[in-house]
Amino acid sequence: MKIIFLNRYFHPDHSATSQMLSDLAFYLADHKHEVHVITSRQRYDDAKANLDSQAHINGVTIHRTWTSSFGRHFLPGRLLDYLSFYLCSCQRLFRIARQGDIVVAMTDPPMLSVAVGIITRLRQAKLVNWLQDLFPEVAMALQLRGLPAVLATFLKMLRNRSLHGAVVNVVVGEAMQTRLLSEDIPSEKISIIHNWADGDLIKPLARDNNPLVQEWGLQDKFIIGYSGNFGRGHEFKTILDVADNLKDYQDIIFIFIGGGEKFKMISSEQRRRALGNIICKPYQQREMLHLSLGLPDVHLITLRPEMTGLMVPSKFYGIAAAGKPMVFIGAEHCEIAKIIRETGCGDCIEPEDVDVLTGVILHLQQNPAVLADMGKRARQIFDERYSSARAFTHWEQLLSEISGHD
Q: Where are the alpha helices (DSSP H) in 246-366?
A: 263-273, 289-293, 315-321, 335-343, 354-366
DSSP characters for 21-34? HHHHHHHHHHTT-E
Rounded to whole angstroms, the Cα distance separating 23 from 11 reads 9
Q: How much of the chain, in percent, has pLDDT values that exceed 90?
A: 86
Query: Does the pLDDT at position 134 exceed 90?
Result: yes
pLDDT confidence of residue 250: 94
Where are the domains positioned within the chain? 2-196+387-403, 207-385
pLDDT confidence of residue 405: 64
The more confidently predicted of residues 329 and 232 is: 329
- In tens, the pLDDT along 64-113 reads 999 998 887 777 888 999 999 999 999 999 999 999 999 999 999 999 99
For range 360-375, the mean pLDDT = 97
| CATH classification code of 207-385 | 3.40.50.2000
pLDDT confidence of residue 404: 80
Contact 183, 160 (CB under 8 A): yes
Query: Does the pLDDT at position 282 exceed 70?
Result: yes
DSSP 308: B
- In tens, the pLDDT along 210-269 reads 999 999 999 999 999 999 989 889 999 999 999 999 999 999 999 999 988 889 899 999
H or E element at residue 239:
helix 237-245
- In tens, the pLDDT along 391-401 reads 999 999 999 99
Domains 2-196+387-403 and 207-385 equal at CATH topology level: yes
Query: Does the pLDDT at position 373 exceed 80?
Result: yes
Query: Cβ neighbours of residue 113 under 8 Å, at least 6 residues apart?
Result: 105, 107, 127, 129, 159, 162, 163, 166
Rounded to whole angstroms, the Cα distance separating 16 from 22 reads 10
What is the rounded average pLDDT for all residues in the chain?
94
- In tens, the pLDDT along 141-187 reads 887 656 788 888 999 999 999 999 999 999 999 999 999 999 999 99
Q: What is the pTM of this model?
A: 0.93
pLDDT confidence of residue 259: 86
pLDDT confidence of residue 142: 85
Task: Look at the domain 2-196+387-403 and name its fold.
Answer: Rossmann fold (3.40.50)
pLDDT confidence of residue 145: 59
333-344 exposure pattern, b = at least 16 Cβ within 10 A, e = fewer:
ebbbbbbbeebb
pLDDT confidence of residue 285: 85
pLDDT confidence of residue 387: 96
